[in-house]
Each structure stands twice: as structure tokens, then as C-alpha cells.
């Protein structure tokens, strides 16, 4: 019985821990296999051929669903399927790594993804994986190479750009790491794509929780259709989000979680305050940690706004701001986005100085408010409530 249980241990890394959670979710939710969630590992009974085939089929279905989006062609008015080309999963219009090979089901499910069906032991003629440190037998150059599809912060081309801590271009990984790293791109994570005049930016957010059990619980709350957070869209998968930076996106997510989970009363016990932001800009990947210092204050602001008036700071206030010149002129869009970023960051990070900076007169522009926000009294009330709940006793 002991040999029949497959254990996948935690990597203590944001990317692979999320991937393990996603694998557990696929097995539990789609394949109806009982997964045992523990703090530092998941375990499940070994999969048979039929189950692995089912898992591969599920991943194959998700590849088209997650890595593509529907867009209406303006000329022909026909819905077209377009690739999310900014992701490293696609190169020259084709999937790479495991995602490409996954279509060769017959070859792959018994020989390659063997960690799902048997416990791997140290083998002769084997190499050490640079990610997990286990021994493995190399079989395919393209899959064993540690590329950006396996671990996004890998710099592949030049060693001199890698630094000391980043993975090196010649690093390799085992099939388990390659499989987990590749399928994480199909996970449900909040993201936005901002297409600006100078450069395009894509922000992906991943929750960072030390306990796999809690991570699974939190991600399941987000995935729950009742919370209504995720929706497959062109530039973002968050419902009704027009945010242009990661802080606004995060504030928007918190608001939605707060609004929905207050009803089902699950949020009080678990709320993730640590996130990892993966920013893709001009083909480069930047990883940043977003740590919310004072979640209690955020809850206080939400409570005072939502209970009295059913308002939220981002959805009903920040979203409607823009930067207008003191004298007549056009709206400054870049400054509008920057102001929204500063306001959201200030509220999330409990940094009043940053919030106040958005209201400074900069570049001859001042904060204005769209008419949708309400009349003069409404605008005054909204700011007063934010200030009272934040700065008042």
C-alpha cells in the first residue's frame, strides 16, 4: 500500500507550489481522485493508464482554452481564436516543451510522465535535476532544458544576464519539474494586459502561501463560480476590471472576494496577504513580491464603505478618476493611470504618503472625477468615508 501512494513534495517556490496545487486540483476536481492535502506535500494513489490518459486529455483541453482568446474581427465580424503570444508557452505560433509533446499521448503517458504512476528512485546513468535536486534519466533535449516555460524567471540566452541566483542557460530539469512548470501556465491566476503607446505590459498574480492546504483552499475560493471573479476575456480574466497595474488589480480582487465571501462567510479565516507579481514587459520577465502589511485596516475601510453605502474604494472611486489639466486641454492618460496606481498602492500598502501623491498637482494636471461616480455630494462623501475609516480612530 505504501508504494502505491505517490507523493509530490513542496518546492518552497511560488511557481512550483502553485503548480503542485494545480495538479492536485486537476486530479481532485476533474479526475475525481482522492488527493490528500498536507502542509508540505500532496499524496494520491498511483494513476493507471486510463487515468493518465484522462489527465492528458484535460490538459490538452485547457491548452486551447487558456492560452488562446476570442476576438471579433472588426472587418468580417467573425470571432477569431488568437494566441496569447506574450506567454513563453508559444513560439512562432507553436506550443513548446511539454505542451507541444503532450499531443503525442501514446509515447508520453507511460514513459515520460512516470512520476504520476510510480515512485522514482535513484537510477544509474542519471543526472541531477537543477530544480529539485533529484536524479533523472535524460531523454529529450527540448524537454529537459530549463526554459522560461518551466520556470518564468529563467534567462535563457546569455549567462552574463543571469546573475548568481537566477537559473543559468545550461541548466536542465527532470520530467517532473518540466511537467509541473509547464502546466502552471494553464492555472487560474488573475492577470491583466495593458497595451500602451510605448510598451505593452502584462501582469500575472500568484498567491504565496506556505501551507499547500491553505493555498488550495484560497485558490478554490477564487475559482468558485459563486464568487464570480474569473472570466475568459481578451485583456484580463477578472470580471469588469479596467485596471492598468497590479495594485489596482489586486485591490479589485480583494473587493470582489470581500463582497462575495461575506455572504458565504469563508473569508474571515483565510485571506492571502502575500502575492507574487510576474510582469512581462518587452519580452522580459520581472518577479516582484507584493506583501500587504495591514490587512485589518483594509478590512476596516471595506467594512465602513460597504456596509454604509455598498461602495468600494477601487470599483466606486479610484476607477472613475482621471488627470485633467488645470487649464483647458485633453485628459492625460498616462498620468491618469499613474494616479490610479498610486491610490491603489497607497490603500493596499497602508501608505498614506503614496495615496496623497496622487492628488498632487503634477505636470499641470489635477485629479478629476467622471460623471458616473455621482454628483458633488457623492464625490465628497466617498472621499470622506475613505479618510475617516483610514485616518480616523
Partner 1 sequence: MVQFESHELETMRKAGWIIGSIGKTYISEIYQLDRVRSAEEFEKVIKNISLRAIKIGKEGEKCKDYEEAISKNAFKNLIELINKYKPNFDEIKDIILIYSTFYLGIKYN
Residue ranges in contact with partner 1 by CB under 8 A: 324, 326, 350, 352-353, 355-356, 359-361, 366-369, 376, 379-380, 383-384, 387-388, 391-393
CB 18 within 8 A of CB 215: yes
Q: How far is the CB of 366 from partner 1 (least distance, A)?
A: 5
Q: Residue 206: what are its φ and ψ, rounded to 5°? A: -125, 130
Q: How far is the CB of 307 from partner 1 (least distance, A)?
A: 17
Q: Based on CB atoms, which residue is closest to partner 1, 173 or 347?
A: 347
**Closer residue to partner 1, CB minimum distance, 78 or 326:** 326
Q: How far is the CB of 117 from partner 1 (least distance, A)?
A: 56
Helices (H), 89-206: 98-101, 105-111, 141-144, 175-183
Rounded CA separation 341/248 (Å):
6
Can you say whether the dihedral through the CA atoms of 373, 379, 381, 386 is positive or negative?
A: positive
Buried b (16+ CB within 10 A) or exposed e, 12-29: ebbbbbbbbbbbbbbbbe
What's the grid cell of residue 90?
Answer: 508559444
User: Please, what is the minimum distance in Å from the beta carbon of residue 312 to partner 1?
Assistant: 18
Q: How many CB atoms lie within 10 A of CB 113?
A: 19
Q: Residue 275 CB, nearest distance to partner 1 (Å)?
A: 23
376: which residues sit within 8 A by CB, 6+ positions away? none
Min separation Cβ 120 and partner 1, Å: 53
Torsion of CA 275, 277, 278, 284, to 10 degrees: -150
* Beta carbon nearer to partner 1, 77 or 328: 328
Q: How far is the CB of 250 from partner 1 (least distance, A)?
A: 21
With beta carbons less than 8 A apart as the criterion, state whether 259 and 227 touch.
no
Residue number with CB closer to partner 1 (164 or 393) = 393
Strand partners, 172: 145
Q: Which residues contact 90 (CB under 8 A, 6 or more apart)?
A: 67, 83, 84, 96
For partner 1, the closer of residues 272 and 298 by Cβ is: 298
In the complex, what is the shortest distance from the CB of residue 332 to partner 1, in angstroms, rounded to a whole number? 13
Nearer to partner 1, 135 or 369 (CB): 369
Ramachandran quadrant class, 361 (left: phi over 0; alpha: psi -120 to 50; beta: rest): beta
Q: Which is nearer to partner 1, 24 or 346 (CB)?
A: 346
Give kind and range of the element (H or E) at residue 333: helix 333-349
Residue 375 CB, shortest distance to partner 1, in Å, is 10
Label the pairing between strands 135-136 and 191-195: unpaired
Nearer to partner 1, 267 or 386 (CB): 386
For residue 176, count other CB atoms closer than 10 A to its CB.
20
DSSP for residue 185: G
Nearer to partner 1, 309 or 352 (CB): 352
What are the Cα distances from residue 279, in Å, to 167, 357, 390? 18, 24, 30
Amino acid at each position: 500500500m505504501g508504494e502505491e501512494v505517490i507523493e509530490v513534495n513542496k518546492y518552497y517556490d511560488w511557481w512550483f507550489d502553485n503548480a503542485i496545487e494545480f495538479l492536485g486540483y486537476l486530479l481532485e476536481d476533474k479526475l475525481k481522485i482522492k488527493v490528500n492535502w498536507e502542509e508540505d506535500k500532496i499524496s494520491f494513489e498511483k494513476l493507471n493508464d486510463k487515468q493518465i490518459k484522462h489527465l492528458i486529455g484535460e490538459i490538452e483541453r485547457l491548452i486551447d482554452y487558456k492560452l488562446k482568446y476570442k476576438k471579433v474581427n472588426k472587418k468580417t465580424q467573425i470571432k477569431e481564436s488568437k494566441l496569447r503570444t506574450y506567454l513563453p508557452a508559444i513560439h512562432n505560433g507553436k506550443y513548446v516543451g511539454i505542451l507541444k509533446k503532450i499531443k503525442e499521448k501514446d509515447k508520453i503517458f507511460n514513459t515520460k510522465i512516470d512520476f504520476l504512476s510510480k515512485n522514482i528512485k535513484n537510477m544509474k546513468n542519471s543526472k541531477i535535476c537543477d530544480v529539485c535536486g533529484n536524479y533523472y534519466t535524460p531523454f529529450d533535449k527540448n524537454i529537459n532544458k530549463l526554459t522560461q516555460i518551466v520556470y518564468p524567471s529563467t534567462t535563457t540566452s546569455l549567462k552574463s544576464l543571469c546573475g548568481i541566483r537566477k537559473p543559468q542557460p545550461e541548466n536542465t530539469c527532470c520530467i517532473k519539474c518540466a511537467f509541473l512548470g509547464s502546466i502552471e501556465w494553464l492555472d487560474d491566476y488573475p492577470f491583466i494586459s495593458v497595451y500602451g503607446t510605448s510598451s505593452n505590459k502584462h501582469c500575472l498574480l500568484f498567491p504565496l502561501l506556505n501551507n499547500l492546504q491553505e493555498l488550495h483552499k484560497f485558490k478554490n475560493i477564487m475559482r468558485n463560480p459563486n464568487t464570480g471573479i474569473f472570466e475568459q476575456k481578451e485583456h484580463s480574466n477578472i470580471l469588469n476590471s479596467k485596471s492598468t497595474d497590479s495594485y489596482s488589480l489586486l485591490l479589485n480582487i480583494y473587493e470582489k472576494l470581500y463582497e462575495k465571501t461575506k455572504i458565504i462567510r469563508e473569508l474571515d479565516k483565510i485571506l492571502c496577504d502575500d502575492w507574487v507579481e510576474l510582469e512581462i514587459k518587452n519580452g522580459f520577465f520581472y518577479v516582484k513580491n507584493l506583501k500587504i502589511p495591514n490587512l485589518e485596516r483594509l478590512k476596516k475601510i471595506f467594512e465602513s464603505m460597504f456596509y454604509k453605502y455598498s461602495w468600494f474604494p477601487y470599483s466606486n472611486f479610484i476607477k472613475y478618476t482621471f488627470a485633467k489639466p488645470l487649464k483647458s486641454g485633453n485628459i492625460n492618460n498616462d498620468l491618469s493611470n499613474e494616479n490610479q496606481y498610486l491610490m491603489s498602492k497607497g490603500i493596499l500598502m497602508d501608505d498614506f504618503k503614496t495615496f496623497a501623491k496622487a492628488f498632487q498637482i503634477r505636470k499641470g494636471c489635477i485629479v478629476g472625477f467622471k460623471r458616473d461616480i455621482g454628483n458633488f455630494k457623492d464625490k465628497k462623501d466617498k472621499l470622506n468615508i475613505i479618510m475617516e475609516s483610514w485616518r480616523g480612530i
